[in-house]
Amino acid sequence: MTKKQYFVNVLLAYNLSKEFTYKIDKYVEIGSIVRVPFRSKKYIGIVTEHLKKPNFQKSKIKEVDSVSNKLLFKSKHLKFLDWVAKYNLIDRGNILKMMLPNSDIFFKELKKKYEINDEMNIKLINLNNEQLKASNYISTKIKEKKYQTVVIDGVPGSGKTEVYFRVIEENLRLNTQVLILFPEVSLTSEFVKRVKNHFGLDPDVWHSKISPSQKKISLDRIINGKAKIIVGARSALFLPFKKLGLMIIDEEHDGSYKQEEKGIYQARDMAVVRASIEKILLLLVSATPSLETSYNILKKKYDKVSLTHKYQQIPFPRVEIVDMKKEKLKKDEWISKTLRVQIEKNIIEKKQVLLFINKRGYAPVIICKACGHKITCKNCSSYLVEHLHSKNLLCHHCGFKLNSFKLECSECKNVDANFIDYGVGIEKVFTEVSRLFPTARTCMFSSDHVKSGSDITKKVKQILNHEYDIIIGTQLITKGYHFPLLTCVGIIDADMTLRGGDMRAAEKTYQLLYQVAGRAGREDANGIVYIQSYYPKNGTILSLKEMDRNKFYKNELNYRKISQLPPVGKMAAIILSGHKKNEVDQSCLQLLKCAPNISDIEIYGPAPAPLSRLKGNFRQRFLIHDKKSRNIQKFITNWIVKYPQNSKVNITVDIDPYNFI
């Protein structure tokens, strides 16, 4: 008796959007995970459709290799996949790869047994009235069991984490899973300890630094519902949760939520979509919400709870602007005389000082004294940054490095050339501090000096134990740490992020420096913040002095409205890249000829991307500005489909660009 054959369409976890037809000798449900032959390999995929009559000759249709019984993709998972792919113009198979990140887990039993504490033992937190009111309000929203986005908008040190911990307690009583996203991998280890200390259980962790074996264990627990609290970076958003009940995006304003390559997307925005499809509550948490989030609050799309006071009633710091044009510093001096006096005073009073400079390394530019050539990366159009502690010149985009002791100028070929450094990085500030305050105990807090979670934990503990008097930090130090002895913050080169043509420059600068300023102050002493600036009358700098965040946001939104820029209007970028510059240039001209002409949609370019060469590829860019904020994806799709594509030139689309590199 001949077995009945079924025919199904399968979407592969592969760089394609189309589905392929396979045959199988048993009925399988839509959403079943299968392994199938494709070309010369086997790939994981999901069944998306049953076919009565295949469009191909039956004898040429390949058979499904195996079917997994571990997980059935639900319709809401498929809906989320399709939405993300369509909005970001990414191949559907690429999204599926993120949702099914390990094929072995679906077809093999785990050999390694894992022992993870899943027993809850919740410690009570004493919340102040403001925190209690916020947590109670959000907890009522969870019980409604429907989609809502609520913003926890709290000043630095107001106890935002404690508020959402109380909300998580409510969610765990409903026996659903909680996902907490962080922008930086390095932040998760400290937070995992806080979770374990409060809830008594081990959270599951998901990010790029987790070993493959640990990822298998976590994925298995997420699929079968044993994982109650999942802490991760942006990629964790796509995991196939069994019963997701709450999502939390901490530091929602952070640019690290934007995936910039291999499928570009904004994790915060995709979290809003997933929450709406799952019909669950999403919490966006920040002391400086993004302008997009603020705009959505104004438009009543998001709800908001506010924490306006620091948890321990610490007063806001006093902010002073130091006009660097009046300071007349000598060569290689970066710390103003005004700030030096305050540092000395703090050391005498046995208090701590934070000096903030958002540049890694020693100097951002190295110049040949003989010919004036600036040393650049061989793969990118970026300058190599001098790193004194590793004795290297390093590219922060591709990782290329040169030994700073064996340096030869590539332009004049002078082996005896002298090189001079230009600009300031964290290591140069450290050198100056060591010279000015030789007896002070000083440390650096950046991704070059605290590379892992354990390094951060150790360094934070040392700072809390007052083993250091002066902390010199980059953006990493702004991520929610509270140092009780820290009363003085000095911001070196506050104008750095205001330079260039980035429309988000003011917003990014304000968010970063506001967060830094929030580190200053303690229970028995007012904090003071010194902002060193060559443009003391700049609107962003003046807003920081007033610490009037609402005023800054109002002004910035008005500017965006007048210019019809995001979040009011819509923007997208099309980047063409390839190994040969002439091929990229030619493709740009061909694409330009196909450009549609629609009123209120402006096309700028082609022009070299600000980083015109990246990782060996030459890059040209088009910017699309839609003043009416319509379906820009449809516009781009209709445009690109007319373009005679060159296999040697890659086209990447960035919807809602964040970094204009």
Question: Rounded distance, CA 603 to CA 46, Å?
Answer: 38
Q: Are residues 301 and 199 in the same domain?
A: yes
Q: Is residue 84 part of a domain?
A: no
Can you give the three-state secondary structure of 382-448, one letter per residue?
A: CECEEECCCCEEECCCCCCEEECCCCCCCCCCCCCCCEEEECCCHHHHHHHHHHHCCCCCEEEECCC
Contact 322, 492 (CB under 8 A): no
Q: Is residue 117 part of a domain?
A: no
Sorted by sequence, the CB contacts under 8 Å of residue 561 that are 6+ apart come out as 568
pLDDT for residue 32 is more than 60: yes
DSSP character for 50?
E
**The pLDDT of residue 262:** 80
Question: Rounded distance, CA 565 to CA 229, Å?
Answer: 38
352-357-358-363 Cα dihedral, nearest 10 degrees: -140
Question: Rounded distance, CA 118 to CA 590, Å?
Answer: 58
Confidence of residue 348 (pLDDT cuts 50, 70, 90): very high
Q: Is residue 475 part of a domain?
A: yes
User: DSSP 3-state helix, strand, coil percentages of the chain (rounded to 5)?
Assistant: 35, 25, 40
Last residue of a domain, one of 423, 442, 471: 423
Confidence of residue 204 (pLDDT cuts 50, 70, 90): very high
Phi/psi region, residue 387 (left: phi>0; alpha: psi -120 to 50; beta: rest), is beta
Q: Is residue 183 part of a domain?
A: yes
pLDDT for residue 435 is more than 80: yes
Q: Is residue 597 part of a domain?
A: yes
Pairing mode of beta strands 281-286, 244-250:
parallel
Question: Rounded distance, CA 293 to CA 283, Å?
Answer: 11
- What is the dihedral sign for C-alpha 228, 234, 236, 239? positive
Backbone angles phi, psi at 264, to 5 degrees: -90, 130
Owning domain of residue 607: 570-655
Q: Are residues 548 and 477 in the same domain?
A: yes
Question: Rounded distance, CA 30 to CA 35, Å?
Answer: 14
DSSP for 162-201 reads HHHHHHHHHHHHTT-EEEEE-S-GGGHHHHHHHHHHHHSS
DSSP for 531-557 reads EEES-TT-HHHHHHHHT-HHHHHHHHH
Number of alpha helices (DSSP H) and beta strands (DSSP E) in the chain: 18, 29
Residue 233 tokens, joined: 């970076």
Last residue of a domain, one of 512, 530, 562: 562
Question: Rounded distance, CA 253 to CA 508, Å?
Answer: 9
Residue 343 tokens, joined: 């540092």
Helices 75-88 and 267-278 cross at an angle (nearest 10°) of 150
Q: Is residue 186 classed exposed, middle or buried when 0-12, 13-18 and 19+ CB atoms within 10 A define those classes? A: buried
Q: Are residues 395 and 413 in the same domain?
A: yes
C-alpha pair distances (Å), 196 with each of 122, 131, 190, 206: 9, 21, 10, 16
Q: Are residues 331 and 456 in the same domain?
A: yes
Q: Are residues 552 and 432 in the same domain?
A: yes
**The pLDDT of residue 627:** 86
Hey, how many other C-beta atoms are within 10 angstroms of the C-beta on 65? 15
Question: Rounded distance, CA 141 to CA 132, Å?
Answer: 14
Question: Rounded distance, CA 623 to CA 607, Å?
Answer: 9
Last residue of a domain, one of 523, 546, 562: 562
Higher pLDDT, 312 or 447: 447
Q: Is residue 81 part of a domain?
A: no
Pairing mode of beta strands 401-403, 352-356:
unpaired
Q: Are residues 219 and 294 in the same domain?
A: yes
Q: Are residues 628 and 517 in the same domain?
A: no
Hey, how many other C-beta atoms are within 10 angstroms of the C-beta on 95? 25
Question: Rounded distance, CA 528 to CA 108, Å?
Answer: 58
pLDDT for residue 317 is more than 90: no
**The pLDDT of residue 410:** 78
Residue 194 tokens, joined: 């806080």
pLDDT for residue 406 is more than 70: yes
Q: Of 467, 463, 469, 468, whose CA–CA distance to 482 is shortest?
A: 463
**The pLDDT of residue 475:** 87
User: What CATH number should be reported for the domain holding residue 555?
Assistant: 3.40.50.300
Tens digit of pLDDT for each residue in 210-246? 888 889 999 999 999 999 999 999 999 999 999 999 9
pLDDT for residue 489 is more than 70: yes
**pTM for this prediction:** 0.92
* Alpha carbon distance, N-terminus to C-terminus of the chain: 64
- What is the dihedral sign for C-alpha 410, 416, 418, 419? positive
Tens digit of pLDDT for each residue in 525-581? 678 999 999 999 998 999 998 888 889 999 999 999 999 999 999 999 999 999 999
Q: Is residue 448 part of a domain?
A: yes
Q: Are residues 511 and 405 in the same domain?
A: no
Q: Are residues 399 and 464 in the same domain?
A: no
**The pLDDT of residue 370:** 83
pLDDT for residue 655 is more than 90: yes
| The 601-614 sheet, strands edge to edge | 601-614, 617-626, 570-578, 650-655
Q: Are residues 235 and 336 in the same domain?
A: no
Angle at 610 between CA 607 and CA 616, to 5 degrees: 95
**The pLDDT of residue 599:** 84
Name residue 421's beta-bridge partners: 366
How far is C-alpha 179 from the geometric centre of its chain's CA atoms? 16
Q: Are residues 42 and 96 in the same domain?
A: yes
Q: Is residue 367 part of a domain?
A: yes
Q: Are residues 150 and 298 in the same domain?
A: yes
Rounded to the nearest integer, the mean pLDDT of the chain is 90
Question: Rounded distance, CA 267 to CA 659, Å?
Answer: 15
The residue written with tokens 């590793």 in the block is 390
Name residue 470's beta-bridge partners: 353, 442
**Number of structural domains in the chain:** 5
